[in-house]
Amino acid sequence: MGTAVAIAPETTANLKLPYIAAGQAQKHVTHNEALRMLDALVQLAVADRDRSVPPADPAEGARHIVAAGATGAWAGRDHHVAAFMDGGWFTFPPAPGWTAYVAGEGRLCVWTGTQWEGVEGGAATELHDLVGLGIGTQADEVNAFAARLENAVWSAKYAGEGGSGALRMALNKEGPADTVSLIFKTDWSSRAEVGLAGSDNFEIKVSADGSLWMQALRIDPASGAVTLPQTRQECGLRNLLINARGLVNQRGYVSGTATAAAGRYTLDRWRVVAAGQALSWTEANGYRTFTAPAGGVEQVIEGLDVVAGTYVLSWTGTASASINGVAVAKGGTMSLAGGANVTVRFSGGTFALPQLERGAVPSAFEVRPFSQELIMCQRYYEKSYNLEVAPGTASQMGRRNQNTFQIAANHRADIPFRVIKRAAPTVTIYNPSTGAAGQVRAQPDADITIGGIYVPGGAGCMIDFVTTATTQAVYWHWAAEAEL
């Protein structure tokens, strides 16, 4: 195994070939050394460039590019060209621009001054430590990579090509207070930014002018909680209007029936403003589309449900609308005082899916379960009849009763309400056999006029009546109204 040969100080500028000095003895030695170097470096082709230890049994003329961390005869010769000639190893430090064909890879490599980089088809296949790269434009100190083009594509390396079929791109920042993001611009004026901007929260920001920014979305990295700073959160019970789909009809109102008096209630929570006018509707897709009369149909919202702030009213259809007597356009807003009743009226056209909610921007219509809507209505009106049966109808279904009596005596019966009313309601008692108001039915054969109704509050009431000599049981229906 030979040792590395030091290059003579009197050499050519590029390949460092030794000159034959004037009057030199044994000129053939110097001449042969130069030939040996030419043979090693001209038309340079090496077996590989990933070997750091010399092969055990090299062939004469074998050449390699020494890999980093070389040992043995190649120690200290990282990246040099090593050639086995005349029984020993000779190494040659490359100069920038040297090219070598690496047979084991089937490609040309060029020495950049710091490393050997692959070249294929006249183009570099490996680029390292560039200070700038411009595609169709110039890179600069601020933008080390710049591209001006119409389309770009990134694709995963398929399994058949030796890849995994997946593609992940990583953008890294040094610390939490730094920024790593993507900025989208219009004619070089920023409009949106996505990423980790000054924190580890994932954020989306938008700007109308490139200078004033609004945070549209923020995701906490610890909890995953999503915050929409500029959007009102759509929680449940947003709509202050009750029975907005119009499906609850405890009074049994018939579409298009003229009301006998002003302010008469029709569908639950909705009343016709003027006497002799009617509310009519068609039903499809799980809600009713109403036709409001010229005088209007309205709902009074209880002040307990109103907090001070800005509210927005939305609906579909041709009707005009007002809040507390002030006209409001679709999607229009109004400031409301807290704790005060609010009257919403629709007039002279169709309306469907009305919604009054806090905020300045209308949200999607809130669809509440029918059972929940019914309970909300029963705070203001409730009856013992089946849902589809109008009060005052002769019907035995749902009737209440009391069975144990002292005959021909005064009696008092308690009537608890299913839902506590907003205030002490007006209660009407009906005879289930005839539908007559103010009566109970005594079995087997008597209709008894009640002596009185006592309503101490919103939880229930009591009725008084006198039984007959033959009374075995007493039956009745009831309706309780506590509308605003």
Task: Give the residue ranges of the chain where pLDDT is below 70.
Answer: 1-25, 27-32, 34, 39-40, 120-126, 231-235, 404-406
Task: Count Cβ atoms below 10 Å from residue 193 Cβ, excluding itself.
Answer: 20
pLDDT at 27: 66
Report DSSP letters for 202-253, one per residue.
Answer: EEEEEESSSSSEEEEEEE-TTT--EE-TTS----SS---STTTT----TT-P
Rounded Cα distance, 10 and 452, in Å: 133
Question: Of 49, 171, 165, whose CA–CA distance to 99 is shortest?
Answer: 49
Rounded Cα distance, 105 and 99, in Å: 14
Task: Count Cβ atoms below 10 Å from residue 431 Cβ, excluding itself.
Answer: 23
Rounded Cα distance, 86 and 118, in Å: 30
Chain centroid to Cα 393, Å, comes to: 51
The predicted-structure confidence for 267-305, as pLDDT tens digits, reads as follows: 999 999 999 999 999 999 999 999 999 999 999 999 999
Find the DSSP H helices in 309-378: 370-378
pLDDT at 445: 80
Question: Of 266, 264, 268, whose CA–CA distance to 248 is shortest?
Answer: 268
pLDDT at 360: 83
- What are the b/e assignments for 23-35, b being 16+ CB within 10 Å? eeeeeeebeebbe
pLDDT at 363: 86
pLDDT at 232: 59
Cα radius of gyration (the chain): 47
Question: What 3-state DSSP class applies to 31?
Answer: helix
Q: Which domains does the chain have, with CATH numbers?
A: 27-119 (no CATH), 153-231 (no CATH), 264-371 (2.60.120), 382-481 (2.60.40)
pLDDT at 403: 82
The position carrying tokens 């460092």 is: 16
